[in-house]
């Protein structure tokens, strides 16, 4: 029986595939997964159709964020064991199943099995949406994110920062594409039916992700000739190092996710003060424009800062992006111009994206390529924890103390980034040590020196 169509042809040892093709496949996969950041596009239609509160729709997104982080923690150690393609197929299955289960839940809650206002029908629909998009989809997100980043980084030992920056940039581009192109198109096709839109999204992404998975390979053995062993690959790190990395990720994620959750309200409030004659539609347009521009800044920042880290060093980049974005947040309370405010916000979000673009390479420098995926998964739980805490906290402040909420939010973000800057600074000596070339172990010399003794011991007296 011919199985050539069932299994991909193995790659010859001496002929590794074009790594640029693998990078493109990774970017495509993360662009599909990045659609989760466009969740806010669907919140208003869902609230209108199913009478759900903002807290309920926000919970779905928070669970997806948490699922990404904690699934990455589980998946990280499996990347080197199971291989990139196998795990990416698993991630695709979970991710698309999340859309399908969500679509089923929304369909059942649309009046098929009972009135929309019926508590049983409403909560059944919401439960399936939460299970699908939040839990199962979140598992797919985490599995795919850490697998794609770790696999692609392994193909570029000479350009780790650039490669990881490009691939995580795909995550941000995917959110922009979904919110501005694909989601509006799917909603138009289905007449504003979110359940139908989810089916279209799942179908299109199934084709795209299945094709992209065929071009995901684990790093080729031929790359070993380009790899220069460093001290970090065998260095016995203390728990304190892991805690510092986790804390850095948590703190810059608090600043990033917290302010992202309030982008539109903050811009609308500032625009209204600058021009009281602006109407609701104009204010909403200003908020939407800021979200779109910030999404572009998020994507570009992931590539720029990661690329810069190949030139000036990972820790230096972290110190620069964390410190300057902290300064931007401290300046924001005194800004009255919507244009200047937009520039500062976009820069801060670009630095937030830059943290995600650079941290895989920093982890690789400190722990080595073999331990990178496991540590990356652990660090991403800091992002997940921030996603569960910062948006609800900032939203609560905006509801209870709207006049002071913005100023307090800026100070919290600036303070968090300032603390993370100091922690990043503390990693400079360790990073310098771990990136030193690994001295060859004198095993061969010891063995050669032992040979005459063994020969002498075995000779006749």
pLDDT for position 253: 92
Alpha-carbon distance values, 66 to 135, 136, 145, 321, 397 (Å): 8, 11, 13, 25, 22
pLDDT at 222 over 60: no
Using pLDDT thresholds of 50, 70 and 90, give the confidence band for residue 351: very high
| Torsion of Cα atoms, 46 then 49 then 52 then 58, to 10° | 10
pLDDT at 452 over 60: no
For residue 437, report the phi and psi dihedrals to the nearest 5 degrees.
Answer: -60, 140
Residue range(s) defining the domain that contains residue 313: 231-437
**Token pair for 440:** 């060859």
Query: Higher confidence at residue 188 or residue 218?
Result: 188
**Within a domain: 10:** no
Alpha-carbon distance values, 456 to 443, 445, 447, 448, 451 (Å): 21, 18, 15, 13, 8
pLDDT for position 297: 87
- Identify whether residues 165 and 280 lie together within a single domain: no
Domain count, the chain: 2
pLDDT at 64 over 70: yes
**Within a domain: 1:** no
Using pLDDT thresholds of 50, 70 and 90, give the confidence band for residue 352: very high
**Within a domain: 401:** yes
- Identify whether residues 202 and 273 lie together within a single domain: no
Query: Higher confidence at residue 384 or residue 55?
Result: 384
pLDDT at 228 over 80: no
Name the least confident of 108-122, 135-149, 318-332, 413-427: 108-122
Average pLDDT of the chain to the nearest whole number: 83
pLDDT for position 186: 92
- Identify whether residues 338 and 399 lie together within a single domain: yes
Q: Kindly report the CA angle at 414 between 408 and 420, in degrees rounded to 5?
A: 135
- Identify whether residues 52 and 186 lie together within a single domain: yes
- Identify whether residues 294 and 322 lie together within a single domain: yes
Q: Of all residues in the chain, what percent carry a pLDDT higher than 70? A: 90
**Within a domain: 403:** yes
- Identify whether residues 33 and 114 lie together within a single domain: yes
pLDDT at 102 over 90: yes
Distance CA 197, CA 205 (A): 12
CATH number at residue 93: 1.20.1250.20
- Identify whether residues 187 and 314 lie together within a single domain: no
280-288 mean pLDDT: 78
What's the burial of 82, exposed, middle or buried (CB within 10 Å: 0-12/13-18/19+)?
middle
- Identify whether residues 138 and 73 lie together within a single domain: yes
Alpha-carbon distance values, 297 to 35, 182, 346, 380, 415 (Å): 16, 20, 6, 21, 22
pLDDT for position 3: 42
**Within a domain: 453:** no
| Torsion of Cα atoms, 311 then 315 then 317 then 320, to 10° | -140
**Token pair for 398:** 């905006």
Q: Kindly report the CA angle at 256 between 331 and 158, in degrees rounded to 5?
A: 110
Using pLDDT thresholds of 50, 70 and 90, give the confidence band for residue 189: very high
pLDDT at 310 over 90: no
- Identify whether residues 159 and 189 lie together within a single domain: yes
pLDDT for position 15: 63
- Identify whether residues 250 and 113 lie together within a single domain: no
Q: In the chain, how long is the greatest CA-to-CA distance?
A: 108
Contacts 24+ apart (CB under 8 A), 59-62: 59/130, 59/134, 60/129, 60/130, 60/133, 60/134, 61/36, 61/134, 62/134, 62/387, 62/388, 62/391, 62/392
Using pLDDT thresholds of 50, 70 and 90, give the confidence band for residue 459: very low
**Token pair for 155:** 């193909």
Query: Higher confidence at residue 398 or residue 311?
Result: 311
Distance CA 250, CA 245 (A): 9
DSSP designation for 9: P
User: Do 135 and 62 meet the contact criterion of CB atoms below 8 Å apart?
Assistant: no
């Amino acid at each position: 029986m011919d199985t050539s169509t069932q299994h991909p042809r193995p790659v010859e040892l001496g002929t590794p595939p074009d790594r640029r093709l693998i990078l493109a496949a990774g970017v495509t996969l993360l662009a599909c997964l990045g659609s989760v950041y466009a969740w806010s596009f669907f919140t208003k239609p869902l609230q209108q159709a199913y009478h759900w509160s903002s807290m309920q729709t926000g919970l779905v997104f928070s669970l997806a964020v948490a699922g990404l982080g904690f699934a990455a923690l589980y998946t990280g150690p499996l990347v080197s064991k199971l291989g990139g393609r196998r795990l990416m197929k698993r991630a695709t299955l979970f991710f698309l199943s999340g859309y399908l289960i969500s679509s089923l839940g929304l369909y059942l809650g649309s009046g098929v099995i009972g009135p929309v206002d019926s508590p049983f029908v409403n909560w059944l629909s919401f439960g399936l949406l939460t299970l699908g998009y939040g839990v199962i989809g979140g598992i797919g997100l985490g599995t795919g994110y850490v697998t794609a980043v770790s696999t692609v980084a392994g193909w570029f030992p000479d350009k780790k920062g650039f490669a990881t920056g490009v691939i995580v940039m795909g995550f941000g581009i995917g959110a922009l594409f979904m919110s501005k192109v694909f989601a509006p198109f799917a909603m138009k096709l289905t007449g504003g039916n979110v359940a139908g839109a989810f089916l279209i999204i799942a179908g299109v992404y199934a084709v795209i992700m299945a094709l992209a998975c065929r071009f995901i390979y684990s790093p080729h053995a031929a790359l070993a000739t380009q790899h220069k062993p460093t001290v970090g690959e065998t260095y016995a790190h203390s728990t304190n190092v892991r805690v510092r990395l986790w804390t850095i990720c948590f703190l810059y994620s608090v600043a990033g996710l917290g302010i992202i959750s309030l982008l539109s309200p903050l811009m609308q409030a500032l625009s209204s003060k600058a021009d009281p004659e602006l109407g609701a539609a104009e204010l909403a347009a200003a908020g939407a424009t800021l979200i779109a521009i910030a999404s572009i800044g998020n994507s570009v920042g992931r590539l720029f800062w990661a690329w810069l880290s190949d030139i000036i060093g990972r820790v230096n980049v972290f110190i620069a992006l964390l410190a300057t974005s902290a300064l931007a947040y401290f300046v924001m309370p005194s800004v009255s111009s919507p244009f200047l405010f937009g520039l500062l916000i976009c820069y801060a979000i670009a630095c937030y994206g830059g943290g995600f673009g650079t941290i895989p390479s920093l982890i690789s420098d400190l722990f080595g390529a073999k331990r990178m995926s496991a540590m990356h998964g652990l660090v991403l739980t800091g992002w997940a924890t921030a996603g569960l805490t910062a948006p609800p906290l900032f939203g609560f402040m905006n509801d209870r103390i709207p006049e002071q909420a913005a100023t307090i939010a800026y100070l919290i973000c600036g303070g968090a980034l300032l603390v993370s800057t100091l922690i990043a600074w503390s990693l400079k000596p360790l990073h310098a040590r771990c990136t030193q070339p690994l001295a060859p172990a004198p095993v061969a010399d010891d063995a050669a020196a032992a040979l005459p003794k063994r020969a002498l011991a075995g000779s006749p007296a």
